[in-house]
Chain A
Amino acid sequence: MFDFLIQGFDVALSPMNLGLAFLGALLGTLFGALPGIGPINGIAILMPLAYTLGLPAESALILLAGVYTGAEYGGRMSSILLNVPGDAGAVMTTLDGHPLAKKGLAGPALGLSAVSSFVGATIAIIGLTLFAPLLAEVAVMFGPAEFFALMVFAFASMSVMMGNDPIKTGIGAVLGVLIAMVGVDSGTGVMRYTFGMAELYDGIDFVVMIIGLFAISEILLMLEHAHGKNANQEMPPLGRVMVSAKELLYCKWAMLRSGVIGFIVGVLPGTGASVAGAVTYTTEKRLSDKHNTFGTGDMRGLAAPEAGNNASAAGSFVPMLTLGIPGSGTTAVLLGALMLYNITPGPMLFTERPEVAGGLIASLYIGNLVLLALNLPLAGLFAKTLTMPRWVLVPGIAILAFVGVYQLHSDLMAIYLMLIIGVFGYALRKLGFSLAPVILGYVLGGLMEDNLRRALSISGGEVGILWNSAISVGLWIAAVMLLVLPWLLSRAFSRKSPVTA
């Protein structure tokens, strides 16, 4: 049953892939620590360059997965030291992390968060190893109708869980799916939304899309932040970057509980690190905040969200590898990266391409160890990147974005398109949209239509096939429940005061 893992370690332990896992972890931590660059941005910027290395699929995936998990590690630094979350997943980390730093415990806080990240990620990677092959066996039974229902469920769960405005999350996802419609229709050869432009016949290139949406819009946002309130950034002294055994034992239940919860949240499609951080923090607060110390620098309040968001990062690989449904915005980007290699993740991945599935999972084990080893001694060094001035950072992002897009086809049209998408992304973010649903919609849109059309071809146009099997009926019911329950609950508990976040 675990043949794929043995084969995976075979792949991941080759000198080149070990080096790439190390490089990915290092770059990811650096990019995650840089102000404003979260995991998605890091992967978006580094992915086109990874292609120029001409790596085989499994090696490229190992590199990018290293960047992903590394960036989750790096994101906590600015949360703890500057009270500015590096990305959405690290918001909860600021609540107790920054007060600890203010108390002069910045070093122990960094050390503790590194260890709890490690514990959370380890729990989730073990979970991934155990459950992914099982889920893949179930998923083999999925036909097009079940996949369509599954994607509807994924979008429903995303609307409810992601962002704070379900309507805008929904609109963002639909916009993403519409963008995916641009180009030649694979079924009939009809041009859709190309407006006669030859550059759009193949659709909007994935790399152009993510670099425009994330990197270019980030440049524009950074300009505003430079004029914002958080412009004055003082770094508290680090002290020793080490945690004592006593501190670790004090937090052990927080870490273990949050690792398990984070994994489960990560497995649910559409819910990523930000939800995991919030759920684990509030759970831990409810369970162990006996003396009202949470929010004032309680170590458990730091360990819980850190274990949780790293566990969810690994957990979101489960639906991505077995069903082809990404569990978060970042895994959506990784899924798109795989598709560029003509690999469509799904139930057959474990049997047909065990070197890809196994190699990735094995490299997560290795990368996790590498990250812990990097983060304890080098935290001081990574923390220095936090103070990198924007006038260095922004031109750097611009160069990487331009060259990354230009090298695709040596084509200027792609660069113009990237700039247009960047302005679009900036406008969406200013209007209170989160970009993860847009990218999920864009990545899943084509697959969703394919499955719908295939299902209806099988039935000869009879719509009933969409809810003909127990699996698809279950998924439809789950999707409807997800959309209706929060609304019902909020009506039932309307008098209860909202939980302070």
Chain B
Amino acid sequence: MRIAADRILGLALIGLAAFAAFNASQFQVNFIYEPVGPKAFPILLSAILATLSLVLVFRPGENGDWPDKRVTLKLLAVLGVLLVYALLFTRLGYVVMTFLTVLSLARLFEASWKKAAIAGALMTLGSYYLFTLGLGIALPGGHWLPDFN
């Protein structure tokens, strides 16, 4: 199982190297001022990457333990929360989104609803004042919420 992961990785990296090399060979160069140009170094790198990956395919190494199904689902949930945070960051504004994000992340890391809500409120307000008043960062007010602007 572990060994298989490294073999697949090695093959995928060889694919990446081929893609990088092909892409580099397509660079449109109009003027060349120097003998090397922009293509050679990426192609050289791709060759090294492919060689090392080939070694990996034939001599696979150690791998970490992969998470089980329940943890994988939670990982996806955390990523989902972060993605939603990014998507709505400017739309609903810093304060609303940070509260919701802290609340959901704390819940995903097994805090009770009460603790998660307190953490959300305190961290949102604390960080808001730290960033705006302390560090002078302009945080998004949320253009879907005209009241906040």
Contacts and interface: CB of A to CB of B under 8 A. Distances in A.
A456 interface: yes
Contacts of A248: none
A429 interface: yes
Contact of B38 (A187, A220, A398): A187
A91 to B, nearest CB: 16
B49 A430 contact: no
Given A188-B31, A395-B106, A432 B13 contact: no
Interface in B39-84: 41-42, 45-46, 48-49, 52-53, 55-56, 59, 61-64, 66-67, 70-71, 74-75, 78-79, 82-83
Interface in A353-382: none
Given A391-B105, A402-B86, A415-B86, A431 B6 contact: yes
Contacts of B98: 399
B29 interface: yes
Interface string B23-37: 110011111111111
SS of B interface (majority): helix
B24 A419 contact: no
Interface residues of B, number: 72
Interface string B135-149: 111111000000000
Contact of B106 (A185, A219, A392): A392
B29 A178 contact: no
A416 B27 contact: no
A333 interface: no
B38 A452 contact: no
B49 A403 contact: no
Given A168-B61, A171-B49, A431-B63, A452 B41 contact: yes
Interface string A219-250: 11011101100000000000000000000000
A415 B62 CA distance: 32
A167 interface: yes
Interface of B: 5-6, 9, 13, 20, 23-24, 27-38, 41-42, 45-46, 48-49, 52-53, 55-56, 59, 61-64, 66-67, 70-71, 74-75, 78-79, 82-83, 85-86, 89-90, 94, 98, 101-102, 105-111, 115-116, 119-120, 123, 127, 131, 135-140
Given A171-B13, A220-B75, 18 more contacts: A52-B135, A177-B45, A178-B46, A181-B41, A185-B27, A188-B31, A193-B42, A227-B70, A391-B106, A395-B119, A403-B131, A403-B137, A406-B139, A406-B140, A419-B79, A419-B86, A431-B64, A432-B61
A-B pairs, top 6 by smallest CB distance, nearest first, are A461-B35, A391-B111, A391-B109, A395-B102, A391-B106, A185-B38
Interface of A: 49, 52-53, 164-165, 167-168, 170-171, 174-175, 177-178, 181, 185, 187-188, 190-193, 216, 219-220, 222-224, 226-227, 389-392, 394-396, 398-399, 402-403, 406-407, 410, 412, 415-416, 419, 423, 429-432, 449, 452-453, 456-457, 460-461
